[in-house]
Homo-oligomer: A and B are copies of this chain.
Amino acid sequence: MIVNKKMRMPCGFKAAGLYAGIKRARKDMAMIFSEAECSSAGTFTTNRVKAAPVKYDMSVLKSAKHGIVINSGNANSCTSQKGDEDAKRMAELAASSLSVAKDSFYVCSTGVIGVNLPMQKIEKGIKDLSSNLSSSPEALMDAAEAILTTDTFRKEASATIKVGDKDVTLTGFAKGSGMIHPNMATMLAFVISDANISSALLQKMLGSCVEDTFNMISVDGDTSTNDTCLVLANGASASSEIMEGSAEEGEFKEALSYVLMTLACMITKDGEGAGRFIEVKVEGAASKEDAKKLARSVVSSNLVKAAFFGSDANWGRILCAMGYSGASFNPDEVSLIFSSEKGSIEVFKDGVPLRFSEDKAKMILQEKSVSVLAVLKDGEAKATAWGCDLTYDYVRINGDYRS
């Protein structure tokens, strides 16, 4: 696998991103399009309150796809029947403007909840997007920019693998920020590839990759109504088909996993108000499920997050969050180690608190990116979760007028 430093447009795809007037003076609509029919896969929020575009996408998951149309600034969530009609209309307009089958577009929305889409602007936007599609990397950057809300930077990742003698590229972009505690999917994330692969295999891989990437991050414990992760693959690399059980499948999965993981970590680093990136690793758990529960519980705890804000080696709160995670483990055999680029320090060993230098701990925890390792003696399973600290800015941003 080669990691592409800049986003690379997979063969046969075009993109566009522009300002349609939904938000104030920032790009707010994006489109992805492939002339060739695509295999596709998707995972969606498990929130019982699903936004209209999520419900629509779930209903058309099975049909061949040509593209995705996205708006930011308005989530089209909790918008009753009118919202459902708008989502469908948005997808069908995109399809008709490019003369493809009407169920061959996905539609995604992100932004404020409970307000109907400004359909006139949306319709004009779709027309403009269709006529501005381009295969340049800049067009992809425009699309990646247009889906952002309170994000402070674009989230992009790209990798290329060899299938036979052909280059196969996977390129993804995402938006995150607040209301981040994905369950079966994340905010909005899109991966496009010129791989030749079936929808069934793509869906299987996506499900498994999302479990260890997007489903292991948390900004604030709130699972959004719009979480969607979509993958399109158009086969335009002209490579042979990636088959289940082949070496190529392994390579493709590694690349997909890399793209999703990179996007997930970028979302966490750009969490609303986040000042510090937190990684929580659990080793020696009885089962993978236990390891995940433990890691997610720690990274989601307000008290742990506030302690990281204060660079405080408050291991008691970490143990406490492990305790209420619902996972099975033996607290009397836990060891806890903090680390960062400045070094590492063990603070709790085999269930016993250690004396440690508070100064050294503070120095380690003042870094922008810090890590906790919890070593158990219950088995062989491990998991990692990612999150951010709880800051004044998080409260300020979310205590402000509706965002």
Interface on A for B, CB 8 Å cutoff? 46-50, 75, 77-80, 112-115, 178-179, 181, 183, 220-225, 300-303, 306-307, 309-310, 312, 314-317, 319-325, 327-329, 331-332, 348, 351-353, 390-392, 394-402
Contact = CB atoms under 8 A, between A and B. Distances in A.
A402 B307 CA distance: 8
Contacts of A321: 222
Contacts of A331: 48-49, 78
Contacts of A320: 47, 49, 77, 113, 179, 222-225
Q: How many copies does the complex hold?
A: 2
Q: Would you list the 5 A-B pairs with minimal beta carbon distance, nearest first?
A: A113-B316, A49-B323, A306-B398, A310-B399, A47-B323
Nearest to A308: B399
Chain A at the B interface: mostly helix, strand, loop or mixed?
loop
A310 B400 contact: yes
Contacts of A394: 302, 306, 395
A401 to B, nearest CB: 6
A48 B222 contact: no
Contacts of A114: 315-316, 319, 348, 353
Q: Most chain-B CB neighbours within 10 Å: which of A77, A314, A327?
A: A314
Given A47-B323, A224-B320, A332 B80 contact: yes
Contacts of A397: 306
19 contacts: A48-B322, A48-B329, A78-B319, A78-B351, A80-B351, A80-B353, A113-B319, A115-B353, A178-B303, A221-B302, A222-B301, A222-B317, A223-B320, A225-B319, A306-B394, A310-B398, A314-B402, A392-B395, A392-B396
B353 A398 contact: no
Contacts of A348: 78, 114
Contact of A310 (B46, B75, B401): B401
Contacts of A395: 306, 309, 390-392, 394-395
B402 A303 contact: no
Contact of A49 (B181, B221, B319, B353): B319
A144 B55 CA distance: 54
B301 A221 contact: yes
A376 to B, nearest CB: 12
A49 B322 contact: yes
B302 A398 contact: yes
A130 to B, nearest CB: 31
A258 to B, nearest CB: 28
A347 B325 CA distance: 35
Contacts of A301: 221-222
Nearest to A80: B352
